[in-house]
């Protein structure tokens, strides 16, 4: 929470202190987080748990999750239970919140469980930029 840049385990990590907050007091931060969460949760419950309904005067839970995801639009490898693997483009979330991955043959796969790893951008042989793989 209060690590300096030199104490971070990897270059992509951060700490609360490095994000220049108004405070690093854990009690204050937790109270603020829980108050915000309570507003969102009450609004979600008032919408009968519909992830497509707008909540707390803003966009839907579904849209909020999609906008926070760094995986969407990336080339990924999804390692699934049972030693299955899908390599493709993470395109969107379905109505249940599952990740949809489009493979090189343009088949859409639903990923509900597994490990998703970001890959370097690539274009499969015989596919152009218009395929969504560039």
* Dihedrals phi, psi of 36, to nearest 5 degrees: -65, -45
pLDDT digits (tens, 9 = 90+) for 33-65: 999 999 999 999 999 999 999 998 899 999 999
The residue to which tokens 């519909």 are assigned:
50
pLDDT at 123: 66
The class level of CATH for 69-125 reads: mainly beta
pLDDT digits (tens, 9 = 90+) for 4-20: 899 999 988 999 999 98
The residue to which tokens 């990897």 are assigned:
10
Taking the whole predicted model, whether its pTM rises above 0.75 is answered as no
- Specify which residues 74 forms β-bridges with: none
Per domain, the residue ranges of the chain are 5-56, 69-125
pLDDT digits (tens, 9 = 90+) for 94-132: 999 999 999 999 999 999 999 999 998 766 666 665 545
- CB neighbour list of residue 97: distance below 8 Å, 6 or more residues apart: 51, 62, 65
């Amino acid at each position: 929470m209060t690590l300096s840049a030199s104490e971070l385990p990897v270059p992509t990590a951060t700490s609360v202190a490095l994000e220049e907050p108004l405070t690093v007091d854990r009690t204050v931060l937790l109270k603020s987080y829980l108050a915000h969460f309570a507003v969102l949760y009450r609004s979600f419950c008032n919408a009968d748990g519909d992830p497509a309904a707008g909540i707390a005067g803003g966009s839907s839970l579904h849209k909020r999750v999609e906008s926070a995801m760094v995986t969407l639009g990336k080339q990924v490898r999804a390692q699934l239970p049972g030693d299955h693997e899908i390599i493709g483009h993470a395109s969107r979330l379905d109505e249940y919140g599952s990740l949809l991955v489009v493979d090189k043959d343009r088949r859409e796969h639903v990923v509900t469980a597994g490990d998703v790893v970001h890959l370097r951008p690539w274009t499969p042989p015989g596919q152009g930029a218009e395929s969504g793989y560039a």
